[in-house]
Amino acid sequence: MAESIEIYDSTLRDGAQAEGIAFSLKDKLLLARRLDALGVHYIEGGWPNPTNPKDLAFFQEVGKLGLRAKVTAFGSTRRASNPPEEDAILNTLLLAGTQSVALFGKSWTLHAEDVLGTSLDENLRLIEDSVAFLIARGREVIYDAEHFFDGYKADAAYAVETLLAAQRGGARVLVLCDTNGGTLTGELAAIVEDVLGKIETPFGIHCHNDAGVAVANTLAAVERGAVQVQGTFNGYGERCGNANLCAVIPNLELKMGRMTIGREKVQDLARFSRLLSEIANAYHDHRQPYVGESAFAHKGGAHIDGVMKVTRSFEHVPPDSVGNERRFLVSDQSGGSTIVSKLRRTLPGIQKKDPLVGRVLERVKQLENAGYQFEAAEGSFELLARRVEGAYTDPFKLVNFRTINRKTAGAAEEAEAIVKVEVHGEIVHTVASGDGPVNALDRALRKALEQEFPSIRDVRLEDYKVRVLSSADGTAAKVRVLIESSDGAGAWGTVGVSENIIEASWIALADSLHYKLMKDARSVERRDVSAAG
């Protein structure tokens, strides 16, 4: 049977200390439910101290959710001037009402003497007394040895004494913390091996990523007997972040033969990672191992050809093992295999030698030379391919458009768009206003088309990005506009390029609606074929 490793999640506490990350009470309760469903063993909810009413409220509310995971309150050892019974921090930890408490204390002589301003002996008493106080009141204590590795390097004997103090107090797990995140993996492994012969209590690991090795350090500690790993999803955390559980968990489960949340739950990692980014209102790191959108994205022609023949030739694990998916990127580096893989979505039987493959590839390379990119614009690529094939004729065409902006001092900006489009040989002329020229243009275009094509009312803009392609040209630079759209049943990306940002936006907007109409037509074709069968 595989050795089991406890997953201790600190996203709601340590992760919330990341620059630009702030969770509301509602966010934290939602994430607690999702973390519990994912199967983590501990959910660190925050530091319930009198100056943090949001975390106090979280602990009051989370107890009503009936979670299986152990929700854990986090706090420090008592103040040197207070006996445990009168210490506000310890008593507030009790007030949180959690079965489990994470308590941190000082392992580094520098912190004990210069930060706490106490003696080394008194620091040992603070640790032992605080742990024992909570244990005596029925709490399970996880002891976080803050700055343990820096403390060990400064005074190894004293750092170990702090662990022994927590052990005497009755801590269930002694967690070795690389709080500054600067310990390299070989050094960390050697320290862990030395400590193992001096403590009897099981140990865990908590690593920050300031040297870029938090995941490697976590895995090295597990190899040496750690029973608990602490980290955050997406690696959120103070400064450069914490050990990323989105990488730690699949490495343990898929590569090291350890049981964590279980293989079935590991398949939910990519979905949870993206949900967390949405709730945190943060960019989802496309290059994140395992769960990033680029983790199984192939761009080089030789790579794609290899993957199509033998998937493991360029993939270290199957994408679906972590809930991700394989993607083939269309670019000027693409070969015929890339185009074939994309075309097979709508032309299942197409082969590499088909003349259409060469024609589409040539058109892609022409457009990429002009500044287009289709890696995140699969809607525009599919339209391109269908147009080259002759299987799609645009049901509407631009005649002309004009946008007008008015800005009066002290008043909001007004934008107006005038659009002429040709629909089935007829000219439709519409005018619309909006929050800006692109919004006005979008509204005018929809106004011109919705009567003839009512399904475009379902299309909503999900994201809009602008990239300057030639910054040396200043305000005359060519720009690329990437739009992501959705109709509730699916999402697609479209792209436009021009020296005029409004024209680039028009191209991307028009393609987004063309894609919807092409998608609808394809659905009708499938229904007709099914009915005929």
pLDDT digits (tens, 9 = 90+) for 253-267: 999 999 999 999 999
In this prediction, residue 278 has a pLDDT band, given cuts at 50, 70 and 90, of confident
In the chain, count of helices (H) and strands (E)? 18, 16
The last residue of one of the domains, among 365, 389, 413, is 389
More confident position, 315 or 369: 315
Mean pLDDT score across all residues of the chain = 90
Query: Residue 105 belongs to a domain with what CATH number?
Result: 3.20.20.70
97 inside domain: yes
Q: Which two tokens stand for residue 477?
A: 């630079």
Is the same domain home to 46 and 129?
yes
Sign of torsion, CA 249 177 159 203? negative
Which pLDDT score, from 0 to 100, does residue 368 have? 79
CA–CA dist 442, 444 (Å, integer): 6
pLDDT digits (tens, 9 = 90+) for 168-195: 999 999 999 999 999 999 999 999 999 9
The last residue of one of the domains, among 389, 411, 429, is 389
Rounded to the nearest 10 degrees, what angle do helices 120-136 and 156-169 cross at?
20
Q: From the CB of residue 353, how many other CB atoms can be counted at a distance below 10 Å?
A: 9
pLDDT digits (tens, 9 = 90+) for 8-43: 999 999 999 999 999 999 999 999 999 999 999 999
Structural domain containing residue 354 = 297-389
pLDDT digits (tens, 9 = 90+) for 488-503: 878 888 999 999 999 9
Which pLDDT score, from 0 to 100, does residue 351 have? 80
Is the same domain home to 236 and 307?
no
> ∠ at Cα 22 (130, 38), nearest 5°?
75
CA–CA dist 458, 454 (Å, integer): 8
CA-based nearest residue to 456, from 495, 513, 520: 513
Domain count, the chain: 2
Is the same domain home to 36 and 134?
yes
436 inside domain: no
Residue 523 amino acid letter: S
Is the same domain home to 13 and 132?
yes
Tokens 């002891």 label which residue?
Answer: 143
Q: From the CB of residue 173, how many other CB atoms can be counted at a distance below 10 Å?
A: 23
426 inside domain: no
| Cβ contact 16:52 at 8 Å | no
462 inside domain: no
Q: Please check the confidence at residue 533 and state whether its pLDDT lies above 60.
A: no
Is the same domain home to 238 and 324?
no
In the three-class reduction of DSSP (H, G, I as helix; E, B as strand; rest coil), residue 345 is classed as: coil
pLDDT digits (tens, 9 = 90+) for 140-178: 999 999 999 999 999 999 999 999 999 999 999 999 999
Is the same domain home to 248 and 345?
no
What DSSP line would sit under 240-258, residue for residue? T-B-BHHHHHHIIIIIS--
Stretch among 244-248, 280-284, 528-532 having the lowest mean pLDDT: 528-532
The last residue of one of the domains, among 389, 422, 443, is 389
User: Per DSSP, which regions of 67-146 are E strands?
Assistant: 70-76, 100-106, 140-146
150 inside domain: yes
In the three-class reduction of DSSP (H, G, I as helix; E, B as strand; rest coil), residue 488 is classed as: coil
Long-range contacts of 119-128 (CB under 8 A, 24+ apart): 120/158, 122/80, 123/162, 124/161, 124/162, 124/165, 125/165, 126/77, 126/78, 126/80, 127/77, 127/162, 127/165, 127/166, 127/169, 128/165, 128/166, 128/168, 128/169
Q: Please check the confidence at residue 375 and state whether its pLDDT lies above 60.
A: yes
- HSE-up of 231 (CA within 13 Å, CB side)? 29
